[in-house]
Amino acid sequence: MTRRTIDSWLMDMDGVLVREETVIPGADRFVARLRELGRPFLVLTNNSIYTRRDLAARLRLSGLEVPEEAIWTSALATSRFLEDQRPNGTAYVIGEAGLTTALHEAGYTLTERDPDYVVLGETRTYSFERITQAIRLVARAGHASSPRTPTRRARRRTARCRRRAPSRRSSAVRRASRRTSSASPTRS
């Protein structure tokens, strides 16, 4: 069996490198060794609250030296995805600085009126009003199509098929039952 060389590392932040504010034993030596060897690595997190700078500072206070550019958050992944879908778009966002900063850096404008996207991120203070607004924006976007959309036509076709289907089944069942009744012996 040949041993493969690992050229780069991807690792989760929470629960792998740190647990809350405490470094997991050995994580500091591991990251230091990667930096010493010049091996590329990326620290991943699904926490969209904080910016890269915030997370790098948090890790530094815990005893880990991780450069900002070696941190990748769910907020950055979201902003990259939206930028690929619609460059310089608009978004209604429920989230904190990590998410809003990533979207701004991707060229997005945050708006509460006719956004291209509604983005729900992590926040410490969810607001019933903001969530209701998000639901209304999504619902309004879903009803912006004309009455002659393929979806509506497809629904009508499906409804017609459903109306016809029982009559076909019932006539087939009647034919089968006639055959069965004529072939079966009668008892008296």
| Separation of alpha carbons 96 and 48, rounded Å | 7
State whether the Cα torsion 83-65-25-122 is positive or negative. Answer: negative
Please identify which of the residues 12, 28, 84, 116 carries the catalytic annotation.
12
Is 12 one of the catalytic residues?
A: yes
Tell me if 116 sits within 8 A of 86, measured CB to CB. yes
Is 14 one of the catalytic residues?
A: yes
Q: Which tokens sit at 89? A: 């778009």
Please identify which of the residues 14, 28, 54, 114 carries the catalytic annotation.
14
Per-residue DSSP letter, 186: P
Q: Which amino acid is at 39?
A: R
Q: Rounded to a whole number, what is the distance in angstroms from the first to the last CA of the chain?
A: 80
Looking at the annotation, which residues are catalytic? 12, 14
